[in-house]
Amino acid sequence: MKHTITTLSLISLVLSACSPSSDDGKGKGVNSNSSNETKVESYGKLADGSEVKLFTFGNKNGMIAKVTEYGAILTSLEVPDKDGNVKDVTHGYDDLAGWLTNSSYFGATVGRYGNRIAGGKFEIDGEVYDKLVINNEPNHLHGGEMGFDKVLWKGEAIEGGVKLTYTSADGEEGYPGNLEVTVSYTLNDNNELKWTCTATTDKATPVNIVQHAYWNLSGDPTTSINDHILTIPAKYFLPTDATLIPDGSLAEVENTPFDFNTATVIGDRIEAESIPLQFGKGYDHCWAVDGEGLRQAAILRDPKTGRAMELHSDQPGVQFYGGNFLDGETAGKGGVKYGHRTACCLETQMFPDSPNKQDNPAFPNCIIKPGETYTHTMVSKFSW
């Protein structure tokens, strides 16, 4: 199956003219880039001595993105609010040492298969692959113990952003085939952060590469996202078993806590009596997004600051995770310990466990074969 992608031109950026160290008292100009070029600097070294780079790029409206080669991670995204206050709206860490402990997948590019694969095994053309690491008992999650989020990519500054490449070797984390992967992040003056991914293989393999940023649009990582307002244009979501593996059906969202077709406060129904909510300890489910091609997948808005993120994607699903497993133990940026539901994820993707549901017509094809190209585009458009 050929996976299509909308070709996106890289738009030249006009960056803020503020000094890198200036601050007007509202958070404006901090670490900003005064040229239209992506800034490249050393971010530290891994234990084997490999240097890790950090790429910084922005736009004329005051947004600033930072991406590191380690894990192809979006380390921060600074966004103005309605009053001009510029704040980082992502969870994460201050330095490379912190990112090396990143067990929550903050900001990462995850793969080879994002989300869960039941029992850590699947079959392709009669051949069983059963060596995937069980790192989310009893299932395989986000590519394993050394998934794409924990490897060193090769980064290259491009106009308005960064391009990163990685070769996942045949047998890595139990997956078949050598997979050549390219990920790009760009930011334009329309306030669109674009994440694109392509991959090719020399042997049939499941692929579902996912961007895993944690968002709190208030800019205050100590506050709950339960007051954020969410829209997901989807008539169906995927019910799961108690281990969060889809049961193979698509359930209608109408008259359930999973209906976000109209803008709804996240916390309004989170305590509702619902078996799917009990299994996920809140929202941690995949919605089957209406339509095909590059289209709206979600809108997230913080009513206090006016910041909003409109998400577009060409993938069949979006996983909304409400930060249910954040427990206040992980110390992140500025030493803040990230509490329960202080951020959420909106991960555009294939459906979870699709490798084990290849005969289910409701599930998308996730198997890429030699000569085919996997593509994934996600556009996060911000306003305030």
- Given the residues 140, 212, 285, 312, the one annotated as active site: 212
- Given the residues 78, 173, 310, 347, the one annotated as active site: 347
Secondary structure of the chain in the HEC alphabet?
Answer: CCCCCCCCCCCCCCCCCCCCCCCCCCCCCCCCCCCCCCEEEEEEECCCCCEEEEEEEECCCCCEEEEECECCEEEEEEEECCCCCEEECECCCCCHHHHCCCCCCCCEEECCECCEEHHHCEEECCEEECCCCCCECCEEECCCCCCHHHCECEEEEECCEEEEEEEECCCHHHCCCCEEEEEEEEECCCCEEEEEEEEEECCCEECECEEECCECCCCCCCCCHHHCEEECCCCEECCECCCCCECCCCEECCCCCCCCCCCEEHHHCCCCCCHHHHHHCCCEEEEECCCCCCEEEEEEECCCCCCEEEEEECCCEEEEECCCCCCCCCECHHHCECCCCCCEEEEEECCCCHHHCCCCCCCCCCEECCCCCEEEEEEEEEEC
Q: Is 347 a catalytic residue?
A: yes
Distance from chain centroid for Cα 147: 14
Q: Is 212 a catalytic residue?
A: yes
> What is the distance between the alpha carbons of residues 17 and 232, in angstroms, rounded to a whole number?
37
Q: Which residues pair with 25 in a beta bridge?
A: none
Amino acid at the residue 141:
L
Q: Would you name the residues annotated as active-site residues?
A: 212, 347
